[in-house]
């Protein structure tokens, strides 16, 4: 069930919300929370009921493992607690690897002998990557003594809450469960939470249906062609920029809708996306893009590897390995590994440059005179070049795209089609007008560089212990009209175009 579908917006969401509000007032928070867990599991089962059993089995085993770790800590058996933690991490990585990487490894192994694997690719259960990270984080927090209440209902809610179940943000148990364990949560009785939540939902829906899906029309056909041949130079640049913006608006849309849906139920989720294309460096980019993943990698991978505690060489090594593993987490393919390695290398260069500037005051002074706009555009282009590896189906497709970017713009902007190109590919390329492509890319760039993001626009504070910020009456009216218009336009768009999955569902 997609957030951007009529079934979700006009059936699942209103029914789930109405029952939640009714039970919360009439039966108490714990009963209402049970309903929310049931609704979330139903939301997941709609995708493919077969994988509900996988999810519930994994949840049950991880909850039991968490109990074993806490029990060992209570008995001061630190070694046993550590052993249970290693078993838990191993179990989760084995499940993730079995579904996500088995075919990739088999394909490369059998490929050495020019043979195909004896089985088809395994269909990846939805949300397995995000849920796996959350469960590992919970086990680690149990080991660190940061879990004070090991309750089955709380745990089920933490790992299955539908706004963040499929594509994040990656939440920690403590702030989310703390909101669910008290009737004094101010958002449960604050009408502004419902209004602000709907505003986030409307903005996200607009970004997904109108901006992201429209830009996809100029990216997808060219990347499909790159599987067979080298596209034309202008088409390749349009596809790279269109996909860069498509991914931005698609992920930004999901992040907005996740925050908005959670707010409608009275819960705050962390900000996961904060204008990353306004970043002035690769370091700054990773502080803004998929912020909860960056925090997870820092807290549960980079720091355990040693962080920056053992000298500059090991610091850079740990940082590069962390980004390499981030690439592998995103997908099973050499292109994802190279994407992670490339971002790791760019981060190392960025950190080394900062270190050099600190030791060269004259150079630092000259560097500071450069306008931020230049650094923003340079960072954007570096990220865009790397996204080709992220989007390409394989390394061969990526090389075709990179080769095409080096070609001059010709009089005919359309790429040459191979003689065996399928009809659907030809139709997609011919329907993607080059002039309209540049227009949509221009609109996208103006939006990401010149407008405030949704968090700024709606004055959202992710601190779970405070009420929503109040804004002036005129601003409320303007935002209400704007968000209502976005919602109406998105619905009109949805009526003529089929709903599409969010891109991060694939990871």
pLDDT digits (tens, 9 = 90+) for 319-367: 999 999 999 888 888 999 999 999 999 999 999 998 898 888 888 888 8
The reported pLDDT for the residue numbered 459 is 86
**304 and 446 assigned to the same domain:** yes
For the chain, the maximum distance between any two Cα atoms, rounded to a whole number of angstroms, is 76
Exposure string for 391-420, b = 16+ CB within 10 A, e = fewer? bbeeeebbebbbebeebeeeeebbbebeee
Rounded Cα–Cα distance for residues 421 and 342 (Å):
32
Do 417 and 305 reside in the same domain of the chain? yes
Whole-number pLDDT of residue 313: 84
Domain shared by 328 and 440, yes or no:
yes
Per the structure, the count of domains in the chain is 2
Residue 257 CA to residue 251 CA, distance in Å, equals 10
CA–CA distance, 279 with 373 (Å, rounded to integer):
10
The reply to whether 273 and 413 lie within a common domain is yes
- Are 170 and 215 in the same domain? no
The last residue of one of the domains, among 144, 160, 186, is: 186
Of 161, 186, 211, which residue is a domain's last?
Answer: 186
| pTM of the full structure | 0.90
Angstrom distance (rounded) from CA 119 to CA 106: 9
User: Cβ atoms within 10 A of the Cβ of 443, count?
Assistant: 15
350: in domain: yes
Considering the domain boundaries, does residue 306 fall inside one? yes
Q: What is the pLDDT of residue 90?
A: 93
* Segments of the chain scoring below 70 in pLDDT: 183-184, 186, 189, 410-433, 464-467, 469-473, 506-507
Which among 247, 283, 231 is positioned nearest to 444, based on CA atoms? Answer: 247
Residue 415, pLDDT score: 58
Cα–Cα dist 438/242, whole Å = 9
Asked whether 157 and 180 are in contact (CB, 8 A), the reply is yes
403 found inside a domain:
yes
Q: Specify the pLDDT at position 451.
A: 93
Q: Which tokens hold the place of 429?
A: 């390329």
114 lies in some domain: yes
Domain boundary residue, one of 153, 186, 219: 186
DSSP string of 98-143, one letter each residue: HHHTHHHHHHHHHHTTT---SSPPPPPPTTHHHHHHHHHHHHHHHH
- Whether residue 192 is contained in a domain is answered as no
Q: Does 227 share its domain with 157? A: no
Q: Rounded to an integer, what is the distance from CA 37 to the centroid of its chain?
A: 22
The catalytic residue positions are 330
Q: Return the pLDDT at 471.
A: 65
Burial of 176 (0-12, 13-18, 19+ CB in 10 A): buried
d(CA 396, CA 372): 35
State whether 219 and 111 are in the same domain. no
DSSP tag of 499: -
Domain containing 100: what range? 6-186
| Structural domain includes residue 149 | yes
Tell me how far apart the alpha carbons of residues 227 and 20 are, in angstroms, rounded to a whole number: 48
pLDDT in tens, 439-491: 999 999 999 999 999 999 888 887 756 667 666 667 777 888 888 889 899 99
Please check whether residues 175 and 270 belong to one and the same domain: no
234 and 342 share a domain? Answer: yes
Residue 319 placed within a domain:
yes
Residue with tokens 């790159």: 226
* 127 & 238 share domain: no
| Confidence (pLDDT) at 278 | 96
Same domain, residue pair 216 and 124: no
Same domain, 321 and 277: yes
């Amino acid at each position: 069930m997609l957030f951007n579908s009529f079934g979700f917006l006009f059936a699942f969401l209103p029914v789930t919300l109405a029952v939640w509000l009714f039970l919360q007032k009439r039966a108490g928070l714990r009963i209402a929370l049970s309903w929310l867990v049931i609704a979330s599991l139903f939301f997941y089962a709609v995708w493919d009921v077969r994988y509900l059993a996988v999810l519930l089995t994994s949840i049950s085993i991880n909850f039991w493992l968490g109990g074993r770790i806490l029990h060992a800590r209570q008995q001061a058996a630190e070694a046993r607690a550590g052993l249970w933690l290693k078993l838990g991490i191993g179990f989760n990585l084995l499940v993730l690897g079995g579904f996500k990487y088995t075919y990739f490894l088999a394909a490369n192994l059998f490929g050495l002998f020019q043979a195909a694997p004896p089985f088809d690719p395994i269909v990846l259960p939805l949300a397995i990557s995000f849920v796996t990270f959350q469960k590992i984080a919970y086990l680690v927090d149990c080991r660190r003594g940061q879990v004070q209440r090991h309750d089955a209902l709380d745990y089920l809610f933490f790992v299955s809450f539908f706004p963040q179940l499929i594509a994040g943000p990656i939440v920690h148990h403590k702030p989310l469960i703390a909101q669910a364990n008290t009737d004094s949560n101010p958002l449960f009785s604050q009408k502004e939470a419902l209004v602000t939540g709907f505003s986030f939902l409307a903005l996200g829906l607009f970004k997904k249906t109108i901006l992201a899906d429209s830009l996809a029309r100029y990216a997808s056909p060219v990347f499909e062609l790159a599987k067979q041949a080298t596209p034309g130079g202008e088409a390749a640049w349009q596809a790279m920029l269109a996909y860069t913006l498509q991914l931005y608006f698609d992920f930004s849309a999901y992040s907005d809708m996740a925050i908005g849906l959670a707010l409608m139920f009275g819960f705050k989720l962390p900000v996961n996306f904060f204008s990353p294309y306004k970043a002035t460096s690769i370091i700054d980019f990773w502080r803004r893009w998929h912020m909860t993943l960056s925090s997870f990698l820092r807290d549960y991978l980079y720091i355990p590897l040693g962080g920056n505690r053992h000298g500059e060489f090991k610091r850079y090594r740990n940082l590069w390995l962390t980004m390499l593993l981030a690439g592998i987490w995103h997908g099973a393919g050499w292109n994802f590994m190279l994407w992670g390695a490339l971002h790791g290398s760019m981060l190392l260069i960025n950190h080394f440059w900062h270190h050099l500037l600190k030791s060269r005051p004259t150079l630092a002074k000259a560097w500071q005179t450069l306008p931020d706009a230049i650094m923003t555009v340079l960072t954007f282009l570096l990220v865009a070049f790397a996204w080709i590896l992220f989007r390409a189906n394989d390394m061969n497709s990526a090389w075709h795209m990179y080769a095409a970017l080096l070609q001059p713009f010709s009089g005919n902007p359309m790429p040459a089609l191979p003689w065996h190109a399928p009809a659907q590919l030809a139709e997609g390329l011919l329907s993607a007008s080059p002039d309209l492509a540049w227009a949509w890319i221009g609109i996208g760039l103006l939006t990401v560089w010149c407008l405030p993001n949704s968090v700024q626009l709606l004055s959202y504070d992710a601190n779970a212990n405070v009420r929503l910020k109040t804004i002036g009456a005129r601003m409320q009216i303007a935002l209400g009209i704007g968000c209502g218009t976005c919602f109406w336009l998105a619905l009109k768009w949805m009526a003529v175009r089929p709903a599409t999955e969010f891109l991060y569902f694939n990871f």
